[in-house]
Amino acid sequence: MSKRQRDLFQPDPDPWDMDDAEQRLIATVVFPEPPHGQFDYQVPAALATSIAAGKRVRVPLGRGNRRLIAWCVDVRYKSVATRQLKEVSAVLDDRPLLAPSMLRLTEWMAGYYLCPWGAALEAVVPAGVRTAAGTRATAYLSVPTRVAARLTQLSLPEKQMHALRLLAAAPEPLTARQLASAARCTQAPIKQLQAKGLIQVEMRRVATGQIVETIEDPDSQRPLNSDQQQALDAILHVLNAGHQETLLLYGVTGSGKTEVYIRAIEELIQFGRQAIVLVPEISLTPQTRQRFRSRFERVAVLHSHLSDAERHWHWQRIARGEIQVVVGARSAVFAPTPQLGMIVLDEEHDTSFKQDQAPRYHARDVALQRARAEGVPLVLGSATPSLESWYRAQQGDFRLLRLPARVLDRSLPDVTTIDLRLEYQGRHHRGAISRPLHQAVDLALRDGGQVILLLNRRGFSTSIQCPSCGHVIRCRDCDIALTHHRADNRAVCHYCDYSIATPDVCPECRFTGIRFAGLGTQRLEQELKQRFPGVTALRMDSDTMQRPGSHEQALAAFRAGDVRILFGTQMIAKGLDFPNVTLVGVINADTALHFPDFRAAERTFQLVTQVAGRTGRGDREGRVMVQTFSPEHPALQAAVRHDYETFAGQELAIRQQFQYPPTAVMMRIIIRGPVEADTEAFADDVADRLESARDAMGAELRIIGPAPAPIAKLQTKYRFHALLQGHDRDAMHAILSNVTAELKSSADVQWIIDVDPVNLL
Which residues in 470-485 are b (16+ Cβ under 10 Å) and which e? bbbbbbeebbbbbbbe
Distance CA 454, CA 624 (A): 11
Report what 259 binds from ligand ADP, Zn ion, none; CB cut-off 5-8 Å by kind. Answer: ligand ADP
* Residues contacting 688, CB < 8 A, separation 6+: none
The number of residues that bind ligand ADP (CB under 6 A) is 15
* Residue (225 or 750) nearer to ligand ADP, CB: 225
The least distance separating Zn ion from the CB of residue 729, rounded to whole angstroms, comes to 23
Q: Residue 631: is the preceding peptide bond cis (ω within 30°)?
A: no
x/- string (CB under 6 A) for ligand ADP, residues 368-407?
---------------------------------------x
Distance CA 685, CA 334 (A): 38
The least distance separating ligand ADP from the CB of residue 350, rounded to whole angstroms, comes to 13
Distance CA 495, CA 475 (A): 9
Out of 54, 254, 341, 622, the residue judged to bind ligand ADP by CB under 6 A: 254
The least distance separating ligand ADP from the CB of residue 296, rounded to whole angstroms, comes to 15
Report what 408 binds from ligand ADP, Zn ion, none; CB cut-off 5-8 Å by kind. Answer: ligand ADP
Angstrom CA distances, 736 to 36, 660, 692, 740, stand at: 16, 18, 12, 6
Distance CA 548, CA 271 (A): 38
Out of 225, 307, 740, 759, the residue judged to bind ligand ADP by CB under 6 A: 225
Using CB under 6 A, which of the segments 56-64, 246-254, 469-477, 509-517 binds ligand ADP?
A: 246-254
Give, for 554, the enclosing helix (H) or strand (E). helix 550-560
Using the rule CB under 6 A, is 287 a contact of ligand ADP?
no
The least distance separating ligand ADP from the CB of residue 258, rounded to whole angstroms, comes to 3
Distance CA 18, CA 600 (A): 61
Report what 580 binds from Zn ion, ligand ADP, none; CB cut-off 5-8 Å by kind. Answer: none
3 state SS of 56: strand
Conformational region of residue 272, where left means phi above 0, alpha means psi within -120 to 50, and beta covers everything else: left
Give, for 487, the enclosing helix (H) or strand (E). none
The least distance separating Zn ion from the CB of residue 493, rounded to whole angstroms, comes to 3
3 state SS of 67: strand
What's the CA dihedral at 358, 363, 368, 370 to 10 degrees?
Answer: 70
* Residue (408 or 675) nearer to ligand ADP, CB: 408
* Residue (20 or 477) nearer to Zn ion, CB: 477
Using CB under 6 A, which of the segments 251-259, 602-610, 647-655, 674-682 binds ligand ADP?
A: 251-259
* Residue (403 or 739) nearer to ligand ADP, CB: 403
Distance CA 422, CA 407 (A): 37
Out of 251, 585, 673, 726, the residue judged to bind ligand ADP by CB under 6 A: 251
Report what 478 binds from Zn ion, ligand ADP, none; CB cut-off 5-8 Å by kind. Answer: Zn ion
Using CB under 6 A, which of the segments 249-257, 487-495, 642-650, 726-734 binds ligand ADP?
A: 249-257
Using the rule CB under 6 A, is 259 a contact of ligand ADP?
yes
Out of 246, 253, 434, 582, the residue judged to bind ligand ADP by CB under 6 A: 253
**What is the full DSSP assignment across 391-459?**
HHHHTTSEEEEEE-S-GGGPPPPEEEEEEHHHHHSSS---SS--HHHHHHHHHHHHTT-EEEEE----T
Report what 228 binds from ligand ADP, Zn ion, none; CB cut-off 5-8 Å by kind. Answer: ligand ADP
β-strand pairing of 414-419 with 398-403: unpaired
* Residues contacting 42, CB < 8 A, separation 6+: 24, 25, 26, 27, 80, 85, 86, 87, 88
* Residue (8 or 501) nearer to Zn ion, CB: 501
The least distance separating ligand ADP from the CB of residue 444, rounded to whole angstroms, comes to 21
The least distance separating Zn ion from the CB of residue 649, rounded to whole angstroms, comes to 25
* Residue (257 or 312) nearer to ligand ADP, CB: 257
Using the rule CB under 6 A, is 283 a contact of ligand ADP?
no
Using the rule CB under 6 A, is 628 a contact of ligand ADP?
no
* Residue (296 or 498) nearer to Zn ion, CB: 498
* Residue (258 or 604) nearer to ligand ADP, CB: 258
The least distance separating ligand ADP from the CB of residue 644, rounded to whole angstroms, comes to 14
Check: CB of residue 236 under 8 Å from CB of residue 376: no
Report what 445 binds from ligand ADP, Zn ion, none; CB cut-off 5-8 Å by kind. Answer: none
Check: CB of residue 257 under 8 Å from CB of residue 249: yes
Instruction: Please tell me the chain's helix, strand, coil percentages from 3-state DSSP, rounded to the nearest 5.
Output: 35, 25, 40
The least distance separating ligand ADP from the CB of residue 579, rounded to whole angstroms, comes to 9
* Residue (461 or 610) nearer to ligand ADP, CB: 610
The least distance separating Zn ion from the CB of residue 706, rounded to whole angstroms, comes to 12
Report what 7 binds from Zn ion, ligand ADP, none; CB cut-off 5-8 Å by kind. Answer: none
* Residues contacting 609, CB < 8 A, separation 6+: 253, 383, 384, 639, 642, 644
The least distance separating ligand ADP from the CB of residue 263, rounded to whole angstroms, comes to 10
Out of 224, 358, 400, 500, the residue judged to bind ligand ADP by CB under 6 A: 224
Side-chain half-sphere CA neighbours of 154 within 13 A: 18
The least distance separating ligand ADP from the CB of residue 615, rounded to whole angstroms, comes to 13
x/- string (CB under 6 A) for ligand ADP, residues 400-439?
-------xx-------------------------------
* Residues contacting 524, CB < 8 A, separation 6+: 432, 433, 453, 455, 539, 567, 587
Out of 256, 336, 413, 622, the residue judged to bind ligand ADP by CB under 6 A: 256
Please list the residues that pair with 499 across neighbouring strands. Answer: 492
β-strand pairing of 565-568 with 537-540: parallel
Q: Which one-letter DSSP state was computed for residue 92?
A: -
Report what 281 binds from ligand ADP, Zn ion, none; CB cut-off 5-8 Å by kind. Answer: none
The least distance separating Zn ion from the CB of residue 500, rounded to whole angstroms, comes to 11
Amino acid letter, 402:
R
The footprint of Zn ion (CB under 5 A) covers 475, 477-478, 493, 495-496, 498
Using the rule CB under 6 A, is 580 a contact of ligand ADP?
no
Using the rule CB under 6 A, is 257 a contact of ligand ADP?
yes
Which residues in 387-414 are b (16+ Cβ under 10 Å) and which e? bbbbbbbeeeebbbbebebbbeebebbe
Distance CA 719, CA 682 (A): 11
Nearest Cα residue to 566 out of 588, 528, 538: 538
Distance CA 703, CA 496 (A): 9
**What is the full DSSP assignment across 323-355?**
-SEEEESGGGGG---TTEEEEEEETTT-GGGB-
Amino acid letter, 669:
I
Using the rule CB under 6 A, is 222 a contact of ligand ADP?
yes
Using CB under 6 A, which of the segments 108-116, 253-261, 307-315, 466-474 binds ligand ADP?
A: 253-261
**Number of neighbours of residue 746 by Cβ within 10 angstroms:** 10
The least distance separating ligand ADP from the CB of residue 259, rounded to whole angstroms, comes to 4
Amino acid letter, 597:
D
Report what 219 binds from ligand ADP, Zn ion, none; CB cut-off 5-8 Å by kind. Answer: ligand ADP
Report what 222 binds from Zn ion, ligand ADP, none; CB cut-off 5-8 Å by kind. Answer: ligand ADP
* Residue (71 or 250) nearer to ligand ADP, CB: 250
The least distance separating ligand ADP from the CB of residue 622, rounded to whole angstroms, comes to 14
* Residues of the shown chain interacting with ligand ADP in the complex, contacts defined by CB under 6 A: 219, 222, 224-225, 228, 251, 253-259, 407-408
